[in-house]
């Protein structure tokens, strides 16, 4: 779903950034490597952005988390987003599954990353869940993920569409996506509101997720109800821990950055001993 698009705040002092490109299936994707001053050797935290997201829209949350957890990180623009190449055409209704089962494994192979920690927000959380159902990451943090379509979600998208037409939100997103901005918006808005997408159901494979999983959502998320968290935790079973944040909307990592970074670091500290 949509997130705030304010400019980056300064990175955490103990993390260095290295921006570049990674060739995946013949496409050069924009990437940012994060290296703490005193890192552990592994695993790498891989950050998966939301439907309108990009490297820049994470702001400095990845830096802060990598610094606290003392783990390296990889942030990247999926095809169609940020500085990466444009999408080749309309999105298929099963694009979340395809990106988790096919595109993310290809990126990890190109980056020589084995058993990552996945931190996925919204669409990125759904993609991370799809990946974890067919592979074995070291850990999974799914924030504001969706595994089925709710009327609340659709209404949130319609409301955003109204702001798209009546405010400067498109202009503000253009600083991240450039001339791909309209296509990024349409790939999300039109796909999710299409009749064919109503049948989205990613719950069937959740019982195959075997890694420690932290499932996060704001209680005031305009794009999803607590039923999403309940379904994910129920599907994964004993490996999953739910965390609902009061007074928080769709992007806890931005709205309550320090709290989320601290909690995720504690979660990783427990399982990566």
pLDDT (tens digit, 9 = 90+) per residue, 185-205?
Answer: 999 999 999 999 999 999 999
The gap between the terminal CA atoms of the chain, to the nearest Å, is 34
Is the pLDDT confidence value at 13 over 80? no
Burial of 202 (0-12, 13-18, 19+ CB in 10 A): buried
Helix/strand/coil (H, E, C) string of 119-166?
A: EEECHHHHHHHHHHCCCCCCEEEEECCCCECCHHHHHHHHHHHHHHHH
d(CA 127, CA 129): 5
pLDDT of amino acid 4: 41
Q: Are 128 and 48 in contact (CB under 8 A)?
A: yes
pLDDT of amino acid 1: 59
Q: Are strands 73-76 and 139-143 parallel, antiparallel or unpaired?
A: unpaired
Q: At what angle do helices 181-192 and 169-177 cross, to 10 degrees?
A: 110
Tokens read off for 24: 């995946």
State the CATH class of domain 15-271: alpha beta
Element housing 3 (H / E):
none
Give pTM, 2 decimals: 0.94
Query: Across all residues in the chain, what is the average pLDDT?
Result: 94
pLDDT of amino acid 162: 98
d(CA 129, CA 125): 6
d(CA 230, CA 91): 28
Task: Examine residue 204 and say whether the peptide bond preceding it is cis (omega within 30 degrees of 0).
Answer: no
* pLDDT tens, residue by residue, 214-257: 999 999 999 999 999 999 999 999 999 999 999 999 999 999 99
């Amino acid at each position: 779903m949509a997130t705030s698009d304010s400019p980056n705040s300064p990175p955490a002092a103990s993390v260095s950034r290295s921006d570049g490109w990674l060739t995946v299936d013949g496409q050069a994707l924009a990437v940012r490597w994060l290296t703490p001053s005193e890192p552990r050797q592994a695993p790498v935290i891989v950050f998966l952005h939301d439907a309108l997201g990009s490297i820049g829209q994470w702001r400095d949350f990845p830096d802060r988390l990598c610094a606290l957890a003392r783990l390296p990180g990889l942030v990247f623009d999926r095809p169609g987003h940020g500085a990466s190449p444009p999408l080749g055409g309309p999105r298929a209704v099963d694009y979340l599954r395809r990106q988790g089962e096919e595109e993310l494994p290809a990126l990890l192979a190109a980056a020589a990353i084995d058993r990552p920690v996945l931190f996925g927000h919204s669409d990125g959380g759904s993609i991370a869940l799809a990946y974890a159902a067919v592979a074995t990451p070291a850990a999974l943090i799914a924030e504001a993920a969706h595994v089925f379509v709710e009327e609340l979600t659709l209404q949130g998208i319609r409301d955003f569409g109204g702001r798209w037409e009546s405010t400067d939100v498109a202009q503000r997103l253009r600083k991240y996506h450039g001339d791909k901005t309209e296509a990024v918006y349409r790939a999300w808005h039109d796909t999710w509101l299409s009749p064919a997408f109503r049948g989205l159901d990613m719950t069937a494979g959740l019982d195959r997720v075997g890694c420690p999983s932290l499932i996060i959502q704001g209680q005031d998320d305009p794009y999803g109800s607590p039923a999403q968290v309940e379904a994910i935790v129920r599907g994964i079973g004993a490996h999953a821990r739910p965390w609902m944040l009061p007074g928080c909307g769709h992007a806890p990592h931005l709205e309550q950055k320090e709290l989320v970074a601290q909690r995720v670091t504690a979660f990783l500290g427990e399982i990566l001993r």
